[in-house]
Chain A
């Protein structure tokens, strides 16, 4: 059972992540109407939003410290927010501004913040190896830091992911693999891409415990992830967790989603995980509605401030493209 501060922290992080994605979704369409051109507007390029997947971020990262490492996917914003990435710098990066995390070089799929040991990549499953490496570094240095590798259900079929599971299991490394199973690999449903229904069963093949968290349940994930992090910190090796989560938006913004059954998203939204979590913490009298409302207001204010900061920030000079290629 989370403490009161953990309840509030998870709730605020999830609301912040949700409001962040919904704000981006609107800003993304600026300059892209009436004719949609992916390269136009203040937020050009692909944009992968994680609305619906907030429990995966909050339910795991609530157990982490700044010195723990997280690698996220091409759909990284919710996890970056939960890991404590500077929201102003992250948003400026997504707007391609000089004040961004990488001065505009990386963009939304390439957010790296060494201050909180966060990284993500646009290549499916390629965060798994680096998470194993961070865990190896912690073990070699004798610290109790852990690493978390987030991947999607599609990535669970990548060689790099499966090789990383084996290496972590073989070396008993303090790493937690979290599969965000949103049921879709772009247009291909999990059932048409994956030989087994429950990827957590694969853990047995790599000498680690595996857990399946059904239906985007933040509280269940809180427990499972808490145990996994404790095991890792105690030197008892890796864990594989698969979380059934929801993808409210398309694979990317502008995705026509003609492959998606009608009504699917509406049915998912009807059991929205943040609303369920809020109700649970208030019903259990852990948190008052007023306290929750205050957390929600803080979350929205932080996001609004980040967008103001990012929009006001200057673009880099073109020639800055030539710097920071080498150390």
Chain B
């Protein structure tokens, strides 16, 4: 990277969209408050001014209709980017997502394309309670036909959004509210990054080793990547050398990088902001166990929301969300070391 531009995740996303809109007239955006407001979480900031309201379309609060319309427009040759404001709102429009967008390529024997991006905000930690704080990674990753992306920083967000727009199938693009770099919500250092001006795409299904280490592997995605790095840095002061892997995409899932890492370290902690059971943490551990259970020198550990709705009250919410201290404790336990 030669550029010295430090940009937020929200700016990275809107820049990727703008560049694709400039180069491909089939790309357009629709959703609630994505025009003059620029998206509640800034992902479409500045687009209305440059492209006008024909290609940057505010919609009624009618997700069933406009996400269904996204499917139809995509199959008619357009490349819609549709924003579902909060992932939690999928309940009112899931049929268009999992029965239409996800399956129409299959139902046509590959003869149809559904080149649409459905982007949505995920995550809690700011006391927005149980209908506005979920991540629901596994809910979408579980369903065949959807690619699922969840970047942890601006550089990845731009490259993955560009790839998502160019993909000929439906891509669920999950951005974490707490990583967007909004003026009104705290964001960890490291979410905003240097950002090349030129357009670039990052391949799906390639995890990134953010911190090499030999003692233990910590696997994370989205916001939890930052907690994992914070934990790893704290552990390093005690002589524990943790390897931190950012999965970047859930579907496709880069199992190889994880397996290779655990083969080296022999220990694994997986951390996810989603509900614990039937989710990403189990999937990652199983992927290693299926490959070779003898890689594990100690039982793998997982941190996730303990199968309760996200509570509103701060002490309860902070208790259910994994943080750096939880991760460090799990690592120490895995290594048989007292805190």
Q: Measuring CB to CB, which residues of chain A are less than 8 angstroms from any residue of chain B?
A: 36-39, 44-46, 93, 96-97, 100, 103-110, 121-126, 154-155, 157-160, 185-188, 192-194, 254, 258-259, 315-322, 325
The answer to whether A37 and B184 touch across the interface, beta carbons within 8 angstroms, is yes
Total A-B residue pairs with C-beta atoms closer than 8 Å? 146
For the residues of A in contact with B, the DSSP-based class is loop
Residue in B59, B91, B131, B313 whose beta carbon sits within 8 Å of that of A104 in the complex: B313
CA distance A93 to B313 in the complex (A): 8
Which residues on the A side are within 8 Å of B306 (C-beta)?
A: 321-322
Chain B positions 115-168 with a Cβ under 8 Å from a chain A Cβ: 125-132
The answer to whether A185 and B61 touch across the interface, beta carbons within 8 angstroms, is yes
Residue in B92, B131, B309, B312 whose beta carbon sits within 8 Å of that of A325 in the complex: B309
The answer to whether B61 and A44 touch across the interface, beta carbons within 8 angstroms, is no
The answer to whether A96 and B186 touch across the interface, beta carbons within 8 angstroms, is no
- Say yes or no for B33: interface residue by CB 8 A criterion: yes
CB-CB nearest in chain B for A194: B60
What are 30 inter-chain pairs, A to B, with CB distance below 8 A?
Answer: A37-B126, A39-B126, A44-B127, A45-B129, A45-B312, A46-B128, A104-B311, A104-B312, A107-B129, A109-B131, A109-B132, A110-B131, A123-B88, A123-B92, A124-B61, A124-B92, A154-B61, A159-B92, A185-B61, A187-B36, A188-B58, A192-B58, A193-B58, A193-B60, A193-B61, A259-B37, A318-B315, A320-B316, A325-B307, A325-B309
CA distance A126 to B88 in the complex (A): 13
| Shortest Cβ-Cβ A-B pairs, 6 listed | A107-B312, A104-B313, A39-B126, A96-B313, A318-B319, A44-B127
CA distance A105 to B306 in the complex (A): 15
Interface centre among B88, B315, B318 (most CB of A within 10 A): B315
- Say yes or no for B338: interface residue by CB 8 A criterion: no
CB-CB nearest in chain B for A103: B313
- Say yes or no for B1: interface residue by CB 8 A criterion: no
The answer to whether A318 and B316 touch across the interface, beta carbons within 8 angstroms, is yes
Chain B positions 284-331 with a Cβ under 8 Å from a chain A Cβ: 306-309, 311-320
- Say yes or no for B32: interface residue by CB 8 A criterion: yes
From residue A157, how far is it (CB to closest CB) to chain B in Å? 4
CA distance A252 to B314 in the complex (A): 19
18 more contacts with CB within 8 A, not counting A125-B92, A317-B315, are A36-B183, A36-B184, A39-B126, A46-B128, A46-B132, A104-B312, A107-B127, A107-B313, A123-B131, A124-B92, A125-B61, A154-B60, A186-B33, A186-B37, A187-B33, A187-B35, A193-B60, A316-B315
- Say yes or no for B51: interface residue by CB 8 A criterion: no
Q: Please judge, given known A-B contacts A45-B126, A193-B59, whether A96 and B64 are in contact too, CB under 8 Å.
A: no
CA distance A103 to B312 in the complex (A): 10
CA distance A319 to B319 in the complex (A): 7
- Say yes or no for B6: interface residue by CB 8 A criterion: no
CA distance A185 to B89 in the complex (A): 15
CA distance A117 to B184 in the complex (A): 35
The answer to whether B184 and A38 touch across the interface, beta carbons within 8 angstroms, is yes
